[in-house]
Structure 1
């Protein structure tokens, strides 16, 4: 393996993306068998101020929070604190006897939502949207969350889950299909109830402290705020990136500890911190540097095994997930040929709306982490080129 060639390939791809205006800057890490092969920063963390990207930059990782939530769930499951077949209403009573949108009417759910439904995005719980009562009700609730952010009574994690359970009908019968929504946020509230502690404390105790992830949290202390990379969104009219202000999805601007700990999107992290988490996953639950053993190999195997039935998988229609299945809040590669990839089958990981992306290939212990702050940027050709280049040079 030629580290110099790896660095050259990654630099060429990322700097091309910067020159083309797709991103302002990025941090990239490549690891194999938990050994660092590449850890580099490129471009600008804040284009308007001219602040250079540094490898200790803080990123809104949005849905890369979900695998953290999945790991915490596996750990509590392994410890006997919860069971994956537990009905959600055991922890959030308003989820008992849910109603489901069906043929323009609301009908009773044929089965109760379980923790595994939340992990698999087969619960029927949506994100905000338009076109159905469920989507619109969720949109109205998120609008209320935003209005209450800076008041004395913001929506907290438990109110979020209780209100979704009481007010938002399901899009479909539990288990019927896959649909990307707020399941992980409900799961965060379930974990709080199961462990009897706030989600931030639970993550710190189970995952962050053992792995030495000292800068991953739901908010940023004042002394570190200057390291947060600026968030951008592509402006079609100007054909350029434009500053995208916080907050989004019911979260704060990270200046203060939030009331709502979003298990689906709430964390901020750094390249170094998230690499500890990803390398633990590459190590099948064991983190070599610290010696931390977060889960047994059998539990890890369950975490990283596809969970979809054929009917559920048929609804995974995102172009970037061609060739993938899904389970436990992560994609899992089943057919590299279908997605035109040289990455081995079994690769898993996830990404986020703000652009961050990671993948783990257990067959060769390879980890790729690409951190940016460009909304929807994880779907760009930069990610595809990086994957091909990295797995080509490391093969």
Structure 2
């Protein structure tokens, strides 16, 4: 009898052990990873490479890590905290993509629609072919229309460099991203500027997501900022994500620090750092402009990891999230600007998408299927569906990550690089 009793207990213990594996055997982000992230981020602060930094890791339905180091405002000795607000710049883009895809779900457009079907400003586009002996631009007809898909994957052909003879001068004259432009006037200026290359032939980062915002405005019949608030930010309860930052939030805003040539940090003048965020402007860009907290951005990324769900609300359908995080760049697009520096990646709808594992220890770490993006002030997020993991890192550093911060953070999360198994 006693033997039978202890046999039952033993089997129960074995069942518990098998059904509730230890943290180290089931979680990517284990105690070793926690220690690596702590030491890595703290080292950047202690070395004076960043003034302040925070990171949050969420895995398999639970928060696994949050820590902040250094100062949000070094001069005023304000520590970086969970409540710190930062300017997320291009991490605005996936939020805009979410707004656009809500209209896609309603059948209002198709990805392969000609953009001019919805936005006549982009009809009869001309394509830059260089300059003649007098410095005049040589133009040709576009081989095909820009499509909506082109503006979601940065293959529209919009120029975005300051060194294209003749064309860059036109861009400066048009000044499409002037904050005093409305989205409509911005679109008119972009549409009347020649394309740099034929649509669908190259990947070139730039104005595409700002055009997405205008497309949302036109298709919804609602000012873009209002649509974004009503359809995305409010349903996600992102109450601390905004274009204009009012006075009551400003003591929580992180200062912007500029890395000098000698490696030291200088605080950027507030009138420059907060020029967009502290003023009401006509422009509500899709490609940048939002300020947020790390917890607000977590709500957005959790929705994506959860295939479009936020609590009981359906923000996007699972098939739409899958479409967004699928690579839309065909192999025929060879010219991809600096995108290859992000690793073995393609591009979906406003995300980079990892299509192959890192080939060596020098490449950014990440799992196949991961989708991610970052911001001009060196912020970063990535979502790893295989491990059900989200990582968000907030910092306010310019120029964009010239100190290897993103790679170091990824190495800390994933651990030492190992060759991928066949």
2:160 is aligned to 127
Change in Cα spacing, 1:179 to 1:267, as seen in structure 2 (3 Å) is same
Counterpart Cα distance in 2 of 1:139 and 1:226:
35
Aligned partner of 2:398 in structure 1 is 375
Gaps of 5+ in 1: none
Q: CA RMSD in A?
A: 2.3
Matched, 1:233 2:258: yes
Instruction: Find the counterpart in structure 2 of residue 19 from structure 1.
Output: 46
Q: Distance in 2 between matches of 1:349 and 1:173?
A: 27
User: CA–CA distance in 2 between the matches of 1:380 and 1:63?
Assistant: 19
Equivalents in 1 of 2:166, 2:62: separation in Å? 49
1:329 aligns with 2:350: yes
Larger Rg over CA atoms? 2
Pick from 64, 84, 87: which aligns with 2:114?
87
Question: Which residue in the other structure is 1:304 paired with?
Answer: 325
Residue aligning to 2:268:
244
Cα distance change on mapping 1:145 and 1:327 into 2, 3 Å: closer
Alpha-carbon separation, structure 1, partners of 2:109 and 2:339: 32
**TM (normalized to structure 1)?**
0.90
Q: Report the 3-state secondary structure (helix = DSSP H, G, I; strand = E; otherwise coil) of the residue aligned with 1:210.
A: coil
Q: Deviations over 1:236-267 (max 9, x none)?
A: 1x431222346779x94312332101100111
How far does residue 341 in structure 1 lie from its aligned partner after superposition? Answer: 5.0
1:205, 1:376 → 2: CA distance? 34
Matches within 5 A, 1:160-239: 160-166=186-192, 168-236=193-261, 238-239=262-263
Give the SS at the match of 1:320: helix
Instruction: Give, in angstroms, the shift of residue 114 of structure 1.
Output: 1.4
Deviations 1:156-197 (A, max 9, x none): 12111111112x110001111111111111111111101111
Which residue is 1:265 aligned to?
288
Q: Report the Cα distance in structure 1 between the residues aligned to 2:102 and 2:334, rounded to whole angstroms.
A: 26
Q: String of CA shifts for 1:347-383, please: whole Å, max 9, x gaps.
A: 1110011111000011121000001100244464222
> How many angstroms does 1:121 deviate by?
0.3
Q: Are residue 356 (structure 1) and residue 379 (structure 2) matched? A: yes
Aligned positions, number: 382
Given that 2:255 and 2:270 are in contact with CA atoms closer than 8 Å, whether structure 1 keeps it comes out as no
Q: Distance in 2 between matches of 1:204 and 1:132?
A: 40
Q: Is the 8 A contact 1:34 1:282 kept in 2?
A: no
Deviations along 1:118-159, one digit per CA (max 9) or x if unpaired, are 0010001123522233333223333x865xx5xxxx211211
| Higher alpha-carbon deviation: 58-67 or 381-390 | 381-390
Contact 1:177–1:312 (Cα < 8 Å) also in 2: yes
For normalisation by structure 2, the TM-score amounts to 0.85
Determine which of 170, 179, 184 is the counterpart of 1:137. 170
Greater alpha carbon shift after TM alignment, 271-280 vs 253-262: 253-262
User: Counterpart of 1:188 in 2: which secondary structure?
Assistant: helix
Secondary structure class of the residue paired with 1:273: helix
Give 1:206 deviation, angstroms: 1.7
Deviation digits for residues 272-320 of structure 1 (CA, Å, limit 9, x no counterpart): 0000111111112122xx3221122211111100011113244244453
Cα pair 2:365 2:407 within 8 Å, conserved: no
